[in-house]
Amino acid sequence: MINSYLRQDGRKGIRNVVVVAYLVECGHHVARKIAQPFEDREEHDVHVIGFPGCFPNAYADRMMRALTTHPNVGAALLVSLGCESFDGQGLKAHVQASGRPGELMIIQRDGGTRSTVEAGRAWVEEALTTLQGTPRVDMKPNELVVGTICGGSDATSGLTANPAMGRAFDMLVDLGAACIFEETGELIGCEQYMADRAVTPELGQAIVDSVAKAHRHYHTLGHASISVGNAFGGLTTIEEKSMGAYAKSGSAPISGLLKPGDIPPKGGLYLLDMVPDGDVRFGFPSINDTEEIGELIACGAHVVMFSTGRGSVVGSAISPVIKVCANPETFELLWDDMDIDAGRILQGEASLEEVGKEIRNNVLAVAQGTLTNSEDLGHQEFCMKYKRFEPIGPECLPA
Amino acid sequence: MANDNGDDARILRLSEQDNVVVLIQSVPAGERLRLDGQELVMAAGLDLGHKLALRAVPAGETIVKYGAPIGSATADISFGAHVHTHNMKSEYIANYSEDDPYEAEDGS
């Protein structure tokens, strides 16, 4: 059983984080300085997130609301310069309405860098004390939301870590957890296969449409598909390459299609569509893995499983990231950053099933409080940029 | 060393429905490998990640890996043969048209 943190809005978290959120890049330094003295805390529980843009953006509003009231977050301090267009008062009201301590500091109003940093640190100190009294309650695996992503992939990713994470997803879905996979741009060629796994034909069509949108985006940006390097690695077709990434999803029926900030309404497997709607407007759908991890977390992910062949070292603000290393040579070199050695499958030392179980057990241990290596090393990456989405339709979440 | 199914330990079966297996270590030419109860001799050296036919696949038939179709054979493929660009191709036809006009709406 997971000993979770109960929030006043009824949601349950597996970490008890204070977020310091800058509302424009001009407040980033002050936010970082506020969090700095708390860096060495064993709990690694003061995290900086933020949105750099000065112009308004509905997606950024929605993401920041989702993240500052994430179940792993207990309190949020917002840092505004004062003249950016982000609705800081609205965000503060949203945080407070969720029952979490929330405050807005405005650098231009509060006397500049030095005094805002000082006041911010005092506020965080007090919030940490308050959060010590957070009620602890039992949380079942069927209340967990788990995300998955791959990055720094190589020929081994689709052979070991991704299919093993797929096995872990199947086991977690069986336990009733909500599991989210993503990157429609890397699932081109799998759309019909995914549609066949959808719980309704209408959802299946929505999935096909989401991949079409991803294809159109990447095509416009002149980026995508299969490369010469892939063929050297034994990958013959685009379907095959996509299947390697798709293996992360396991074999459960697909229960819904989400966009960033949508919370899965119940257990099951969900696809996250992170490609913006409409014309290509703000550049690449995601500029790096960290942006995608932030979107999984905005969908309520308590924990994220990350498969890597070449060896990514990133973690994340707010939710722990579990590193599943696909390549045994990478594991030997970066063992300190990796949580699971899936490359043993290549050496005949473990089966996909065994590594799948190990990943599932690790997810549950991390939910029970065990720190991942990226948490222990202080990784708290965060990245958000401009995007634009239409709300999902009723076909995306069949009853 | 062998897998539970008797295959050479350098071979991985990803899904029960597959008609190809994957090499999980590089194997030099001339090497003998046990696959599905039979012995095959590697015609050429192959690197990790490459596919071998688990059974004979006639031209036109679907190649299945991860339990999913990943393309089709462009020639008759014999048991144990290397399966790659020389004897298979993508069957991918987008379920949507490239120039499908999208009705973008204004506003952020």
Residue ranges covered by each domain of chain B: 11-89
Look up the ipTM and state it: 0.86
* Interface residue A159 vs chain B (CB under 8 A): yes
What pLDDT shows up at residue B103?
37
Burial A64-75 (b: 16+ CB within 10 A, else e): bbbbbbbbbbbb
Residues of CATH 3.40.50.2300 domain(s) within chain A?
Answer: 2-136
Quick check: A239 and B90 CB within 8 A?
Answer: yes
pLDDT band at B100 (very low <50, low <70, confident <90, very high): very low
CA angle centred on A383, ends A377 and A385, rounded to 5°: 180
A236 phi-psi bin (left φ>0, alpha ψ -120 to 50, beta other)? alpha
Q: What is the mean pLDDT of residues A328-341?
A: 96
Task: Read off the pLDDT of each residue in B104-108 and give the average, rounded to a whole number.
Answer: 36
* Calpha distance A170→A157 (Å, rounded): 18
pLDDT at residue B99 greater than cutoff 60? no
Residue in chain B closest to A244 (alpha carbons) equals B66
pLDDT per residue as tens digits for the range B47-66? 989 999 999 999 999 999 98
- Distance of residue B20 Cα from the nearest chain A Cα, in angstroms: 12
Give how far Cα A333 sits from Cα of A151, A341, A348, A381, Å. Answer: 17, 12, 20, 22
Predicted local confidence at residue A228, as pLDDT: 72
Q: Helical H runs in chain A?
A: 28-35, 58-68, 88-97, 107-110, 112-131, 161-174, 191-197, 201-220, 228-232, 238-246, 289-298, 328-334, 352-367, 373-376
Q: Is the minimum CB–CB distance between B84 and chain A shorter than 8 Å?
A: yes
Is residue A354 predicted with pLDDT exceeding 70? yes
Q: What is the DSSP letter of B8?
A: B
A 113-132 residues with CB below 8 A of B? Answer: none
> Which residues in chain A are contacts of B24 at CB distance < 8 A?
159, 345-346
Sign for the CA dihedral angle at B94, B97, B99, B104 comes to: negative
List phi, psi (to 5°) of A131.
-70, -20
Q: Do the Cβ atoms of A163 and B66 come within 8 Å?
A: yes
Domain A2-136 has CATH 2.140.10.10: no
The span from the CA of A85 to the CA of B18, in Å, is: 55
Q: Strands B32-35 and A340-341: what pairing?
A: unpaired
Q: Which fold has domain B11-89?
A: 2.30.130
pLDDT the model gives residue A169? 97
The C-alpha atoms of residue B98 and residue A285 are separated, in whole angstroms, by 18
- pLDDT grade, residue A226 (50/70/90)? low
Closest approach of A326 to chain B, Cα-based (Å): 11
Instruction: Give the A window 160-179 contacts with B, CB below 8 Å.
Output: 163
